[in-house]
Structure 1
Amino acid sequence: MHKPKTVVIALFDDVQLMDVAGPAEVLSVANALMDKPCYELHYFNLDGDHSPRTSAGVALDCKPPCEEVFREIDLLLIPGARDHIILKKIEQQDFMGRLQALVQRAKIKASICMGSFFLGELGLLDQRKVTTHWDGIDRLKCRYPMAKVQNNILYVNDGDIWTSAGIMSGVDMMLAMVMNDLGPQMALSVARVLVVYLFRDGGQAQFSAPIDFQSKVRDPGMLSLIAWLEANLNRDISVNEMAEESGNSVRSLHRKCLNAFALTPAQLLTKLRLERARSLLAQHELSIKNVATQCGFNQTGSFTKTFGKHFGVSPSAYRDRFFGHDESK
């Protein structure tokens, strides 16, 4: 990237603070890590000239960008808000008119969370693969039946339209954009500064495996087991140890796992190991053998076979597909 990309983040009253701050911080950190800025960030209040107040009560100092900015916008980010706020805004002609003026000048349009409804209202989601926050999926399908709504994924890109599930998945989407612009190693560096997982590819579920599993149980012993497994994935773990950690007999643990997760205890452990492996594959300095070892697989061959059985591709192919080749080699 020779010339900094012009990025405009649309704001409005009651906007979701994390939808704005998360993606903006990704680009800000990328700028700080480069010799010269790669992104020019501008903010535009669709509600007028005042400083918009976010859902968290924080007022954002928002000065109108100079006219030069609006001649060509490389990336327009449209954050979300609570559904009743979104539905109110899309009925306001002045608001939508200002947004449409920005959209018409933007090469790439990206929404975070329920911001996808704004794109839908402008007819930009027709025949596009899109997503939104899990709580708004059914409403998005109903209101914009021509959109190809994707269930339970973090983000998706279809041409010049990016949509994400919202809140922290907006960070995942921006990291993917940084990877496209500046390469996987820079995206990894940004993720490390922010202390977030890299990378969660867009097709991953909106709930991480540990959170998904923990949400399905109320038994304190089972909740403790999931956390304990996450902290010990790098070593051998027997079903007997799992039973002891959860305060159950082996038979009782087997029954509870089947009832809650439709998995045996061994299958539950394998699922958690593989989810950890997907995240570690983003780190090119880790060999496939290193990834296997950190996830508790004693043999690389066994790891490769198990990974391929679950995801349909080898660990190496998965790394190349989602995280690119290591440009340092």
Structure 2
Amino acid sequence: MLCDSVTNYCPGFYYYKGAKKLEDTTLIKKYGLGFTVVQKLLSEGNYLNKGYHLFTDNFYTSLNLAKTLLQENTYITETIRRNRKEIPTETKKASHVGKQTKKRKIADKRRHFQEKWKFDYFFTFVKDKAVCLICSETVSTLKEYNIKRHYDTKHEQQYKNLTGQLRLDKFNQMEKNLGKQQAIFKNQAILSNTAVKTSFIVSQILAKKMKPFADGEMIKECLTAVAEIAFPDKINIISNISLSIFTIARRIEDLSKNIETTLRERITKFEYCSLALDESCDISDTAQLAIFLRGIDTKFNITEELCSLIPMQGNTTSKDL
């Protein structure tokens, strides 16, 4: 297609009807289909030798075409295909030639949610996605075409008669209902995290006081009794706290692994460290060797922790230690 870039007038078309119906087969075999098409359109329209500037895509890229048009006082600007044999090697190696354009992600296109979509299509913006207030479906691409298509195909017949203040009131009601739904899920997540955190704290206290794991259930009974009298509206929070003997055991095991992992990470950053040993007998008259670790890192943070506790059988002389 030949088109004037100023007036947008299209003076000529060339239809490709297949290899068997090609005209000027000699010229096509010699210079190629792209060369022949351009020459045919320009010559039939009497556009040669008039100083025109031609712009084409890389299908028509040809040095022979450029040279031929230049001799006829016609200029051409083309994009380049690197696989063309006639393109000079230096041109192919140029950093700005032949590189494929990196496809942009949706997030890179900087699209923004338009406020008018709320009133026109009953949509709102939640976590980088457009959410339909009617059916709660999401449209990931922030384009009016996608949002309008969703509204037209699913909800237009039901809500097309709502206009003016009635439409605005309906939108406000839907948005308020969505906020209530989100608040319910958010509160449930907070309650769940609170219950787990409380379970860890109680387990830590039992471990420090060296109390039986079964005491966790007794503690929960006490908390429930207090809640029923002092703050009955919070009784559901107490009921969600798991303090069974098996849960307490898992919590203490997780705390132990966390302490060990944290200590190992700190030790790898020590610049200097020292060990302190202390031996004493427990209530069963068994000698226990306590090994303490003290170290300092490059930021002068001092760490001092109990590294291990080893029972000593037999002699407990300095040599044995």
Shorter-chain TM-score range: under 0.3
Q: Which has the higher contact order (CA 8 A, sep 6+)?
A: 1
In the superposition, the TM-score normalised over structure 2's length comes to 0.22
In our comparison, the structure showing a higher alpha carbon Rg is 2
